[in-house]
């Protein structure tokens, strides 16, 4: 009887793992069915060449835009840059900015022409100072709860984008600003940048994913230490503890991290678009389960790449010794 019970229990666990794997496959299939080009965001999207060392986005961008969304072209085609631009408030997350971010992310997630998203600041010396506390002080308590929920949902949407995301931290990223960066797949920072989850100084806790993503990034004990102490670290220390992937010396233009992020994004462009999306899905879902279930998820995701036109093109390009010409199919 005991053996039979154990067998039934094992069968139930296997079924649960298979359901997770099937869910991963279904998630990818859903992504593939919504591959239309998203319409430009009003007053925000400008398809133009790579920015110069300066911070201008060109004639199509307006100074009052709090979020600048830009589709790059030429050798950077497929890279989309989201630029925070609230200089008067140190890019603090206001209700309007969060709304704009949500609309931008919603447009990007269904656009198969997007290959990589880079999140940066348009304001020298600052990435994002966190929530707009001046605006919050004027809110009713019920409004605060609603705002935090919306900010959390928007940052989760960013984390769930099907393409690689890179945070280019050229300045201070505190509180919600660091939570925003933590939602990206990869973080690059200038050595002079300052980062920290400082909410405990205000007698609150990180509310947009910081208590969950920071320990998953640098480990539980160290994450507790940083949150309990509200400590701020620079780029060098952030690199040493695994908070960021790359640290660079800041340049005169103040955009060294952004330039490094673009270089990383260019490395992603030649790879198969479908494979990139499926790889991200397999990694993200696999990290939340045990290894056996994770391997089942990987198997289900791998199966999604076998019938694609991109896979046939990749093998043909290898045989003909030429660069592949992927179409994301």
Angle at 90 between CA 167 and CA 187, to 5 degrees: 10
CA distance 137 to 296: 48
Digit-coded pLDDT (tens) for 59-70: 233 445 899 999
CA separation, residue 113 to residues 33, 128, 217, 218, 299 (Å): 14, 28, 29, 32, 26
List, by residue number, the catalytic residues: 131, 176, 179, 199
* 47: nearest Cα among 74, 28, 14, 19: 74
pLDDT at 297 over 90: yes
Q: Which residue has the higher pLDDT, 189 or 305?
A: 189
Report the pLDDT value the prediction gives residue 25, as an integer from 0 to 100.
Answer: 53
Give the residue carrying structure tokens 């940066």: 120
**Tokens standing for 111?**
């656009």
Report the pLDDT value the prediction gives residue 57, as an integer from 0 to 100.
Answer: 36
- Under the banding of pLDDT at 50, 70 and 90, the label for residue 304 is confident
pLDDT at 317 over 80: no
- Under the banding of pLDDT at 50, 70 and 90, the label for residue 148 is confident
Report the pLDDT value the prediction gives residue 46, as an integer from 0 to 100.
Answer: 36
Digit-coded pLDDT (tens) for 243-263: 999 999 999 999 999 999 999
- Under the banding of pLDDT at 50, 70 and 90, the label for residue 135 is confident
Report the pLDDT value the prediction gives residue 11, as an integer from 0 to 100.
Answer: 37
User: Where do the DSSP E strands lie in 55-193?
Assistant: 67-71, 79-84, 116-121, 126-128, 165-169, 172-174, 186-190
Report the pLDDT value the prediction gives residue 217, as an integer from 0 to 100.
Answer: 96
SS3 at position 320: helix
**Tokens standing for 94?**
């206001």
Digit-coded pLDDT (tens) for 25-35: 555 555 444 44
Q: What is the DSSP letter of 123?
A: S
- Under the banding of pLDDT at 50, 70 and 90, the label for residue 146 is confident
Report the pLDDT value the prediction gives residue 184, as an integer from 0 to 100.
Answer: 97
Least confident of 50-64, 206-220, 234-248: 50-64
SS3 at position 140: coil
Q: Which residue has the higher pLDDT, 25 or 321?
A: 321
What is the model's pTM? 0.79
CA distance 258 to 27: 31
The radius of gyration computed from the CA coordinates of the chain, to the nearest angstrom, equals: 21
CA separation, residue 301 to residues 5, 30, 111, 132, 164 (Å): 32, 13, 20, 40, 17
pLDDT at 207 over 60: yes
Task: Please enumerate in sequence order all residues whose Cβ is within 8 A of that of 301, keeping only pairs 6 or more positions apart, or say none.
Answer: 24, 25, 28, 278, 279, 281, 282
Q: Which residue has the higher pLDDT, 317 or 162?
A: 162
Report the pLDDT value the prediction gives residue 313, as an integer from 0 to 100.
Answer: 65
Report the percentage of the chain scoring pLDDT > 90. Answer: 60
Q: What is the DSSP letter of 287?
A: T
Q: Is the CA virtual torsion 227, 234, 157, 56 positive or negative?
A: positive
């Amino acid at each position: 009887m005991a053996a039979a019970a154990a067998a039934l229990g094992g069968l139930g666990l296997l079924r649960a793992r298979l359901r997770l794997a099937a869910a991963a496959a279904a998630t990818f299939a859903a992504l593939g069915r919504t591959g239309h080009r998203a319409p430009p965001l009003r007053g925000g999207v400008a398809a133009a060449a790579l920015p110069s060392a300066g911070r201008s986005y060109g004639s199509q961008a307006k100074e009052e835009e709090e979020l600048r969304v830009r589709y790059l072209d030429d050798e950077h085609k497929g890279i989309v840059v989201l630029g925070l631009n609230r200089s008067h408030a140190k890019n603090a997350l206001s209700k309007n900015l969060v709304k704009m971010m949500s609309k931008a992310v919603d447009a990007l997630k269904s656009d198969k022409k997007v290959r990589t998203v880079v999140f940066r600041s348009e304001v020298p010396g600052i990435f994002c100072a966190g929530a707009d506390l001046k605006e919050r002080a004027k809110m009713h308590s019920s409004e605060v709860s609603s705002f935090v929920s919306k900010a959390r949902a928007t940052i989760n949407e960013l984390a769930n984008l099907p393409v690689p995301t890179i945070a280019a931290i050229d300045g201070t990223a505190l509180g919600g600003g660091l939570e925003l960066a933590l939602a990206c797949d990869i973080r690059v920072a200038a050595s002079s940048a300052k980062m920290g989850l400082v909410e405990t100084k205000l007698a609150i806790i990180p509310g947009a994913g910081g208590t969950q993503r920071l320990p998953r990034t640098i480990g539980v004990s160290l994450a507790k230490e940083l949150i309990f102490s509200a400590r701020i670290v620079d780029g060098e220390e952030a690199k040493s503890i695994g908070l960021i992937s790359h640290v660079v010396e800041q340049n005169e233009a103040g955009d060294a991290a952004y330039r490094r992020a673009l270089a990383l994004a260019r490395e992603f462009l030649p790879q198969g678009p479908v494979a990139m999306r499926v790889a991200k899905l397999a990694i993200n879902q696999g990290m939340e389960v045990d290894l056996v279930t994770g391997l089942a998820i990987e198997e289900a995701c791998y199966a999604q790449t076998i019938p694609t036109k991109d896979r046939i093109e990749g093998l043909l390009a290898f045989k003909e010794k030429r660069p592949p010409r992927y179409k994301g199919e």
